[in-house]
Amino acid sequence: MYEDIDDNWICGRYGEDEPWMLGAVNPPVFENSLFTFPTMEALSGAIPAEDERYVYSRGTNPTVDLLQRKLAALERAERAKCFGSGMGAISATISSLVSAGDHVIVVGAVYGPTTQFLRYLEKFGVSHTTVHTDNPGVLDSVVKPSTRIVYLESPSYMRCGIIDIRAFAGWARDRGLTTVMDNTWATPIFQKPLTMGVDLVVHSLSKYIGGHSDLVGGVVAGSASLVRPLALTEYQLYGAALSAHEASKAIKGLRTLPVRMRAHQERGLQVAEFLAKHPAVRAVNHPGLPGHPGHELARTQMTGFSSVFSIELDTEDRVEAGRFVDSLRHFRVGVSWGGYESLAIAPALTVEESVRATMEIPVGLVRLSVGLEDAETLIADLASALGTS
């Protein structure tokens, strides 16, 4: 469908030659809630197809629609639907696939709020089981007749573990289960799960795709048969619409996404390589490093690496982990990532112990997001915080 379209073209001009653009260099922002019709007959035919016809911007909007088509093309999907946040996309996607009594399998550590949402669904009779494994055969012991979804994230949350996407997607497909995968870490520039058998891909647009820490948004992409029903039901009823203004920011973010991802990769690897040699660092969880246990597998399913990774300090003291973060000067303390600025956070001080145990996050773990500052400056900052300068 998109085989002959270059990602750089998709991020730039793809979809921008329509008559309503009037040759504008930047796509117009349709900041209106309502679209009117010449007759009642025309309106009545539009409402059942509100995800495809411009009726009311809670359904869709020309600016948002342009972004959706670009994101679908990047992921090699038939359709994409944007939401007002990453969790809006994730919660609507999961909700669209389960009913009371159903079961979800979660592979490895996934985004914390996703786990929280799955726990929230328990009061509606939807259960889940988290399995930390890189072998899909292990799932045979937890799959149930009521299982509907296999939820994946690779690289995984916080520790950047790598799973064999093709193997897990194949296991699920053989059993009639739907796979949903969070692809925020790699972006569709470096990884395209749908081409490896995954059914639906979700993203936070707030991270690398937006790229400037100035928008909140999310997207789900996949086949039309899966995306369209949730666009007409969960999307509409949950009200998690992405505004045209936020969509225009994401479109601008896409224009520099390929260039930024290459720069993030370069700087992230420079910083990770320094930390991998430091005696005060027990481990560096960056799949781009040859010493990472999932490095060779990652190279078969990814074309590059982003700059979010974690280190494990040689300590069992959560206060000491926090003290390290607080001593950094060029890394700000923040919970998101993917923008120009470099960030650090110690989850031992922000995530409750029971949740950390579920996600297998050690006390001394610190997550770093390497931004677009000079790598040498960041390395000097880390060296100082580690007590070597």
Which residue shows structure tokens 């997550």?
A: 367
With respect to residue 320, please indicate whether it lies within any of the assigned structural domains.
yes
Domain for residue 367, yes or no?
yes
**In this predicted model, what pLDDT tens digit does every residue of 235-254 receive, in sequence order?**
988 989 999 999 999 999 99
Total domains, the chain: 1
Q: The CATH number of the domain where 318 resides is what? A: 3.90.1150.10
Q: What is the rounded (10 degree) CA torsion for 65, 66, 67, 70?
A: 120
| Cα 37 from chain centroid (whole Å) | 37
Q: Is residue 319 part of a domain?
A: yes
C-alpha–C-alpha distance, residues 272 and 289, integer Å:
8
Is 334 part of any domain? yes
270 — pLDDT class (breaks 50, 70, 90): very high
Q: CA 313, CA 333: separation in Å to the nearest integer?
A: 17
Q: Is residue 324 part of a domain?
A: yes
Q: How far apart are CA 97 and CA 90, in angstroms?
A: 11
Average pLDDT value over all residues in the chain: 93
Cβ contact 164:366 at 8 Å = no
Q: What's the pLDDT score for residue 38? A: 87
The whole-angstrom separation of Cα 68 and Cα 78 is: 10
Q: What is the pLDDT of residues 321-364, one digit of tens each?
A: 999 999 999 999 999 999 999 999 998 887 767 666 667 788 89
Question: Domain for residue 273, yes or no?
Answer: yes
Question: Is 206 domain-assigned?
Answer: no
Residue 341 counted as domain residue: yes
Residue with tokens 């060296």: 383
Give me the count of residues in the chain: 389
Question: Residue 389: pLDDT above 60?
Answer: no
| Whole-number pLDDT of residue 117 | 96
Average pLDDT of the segment spanning 115-129:
96
Structural domain boundaries enclosing 320: 257-385
pLDDT tens profile 189-235: 999 999 999 999 999 999 999 999 999 999 999 999 999 999 989 99
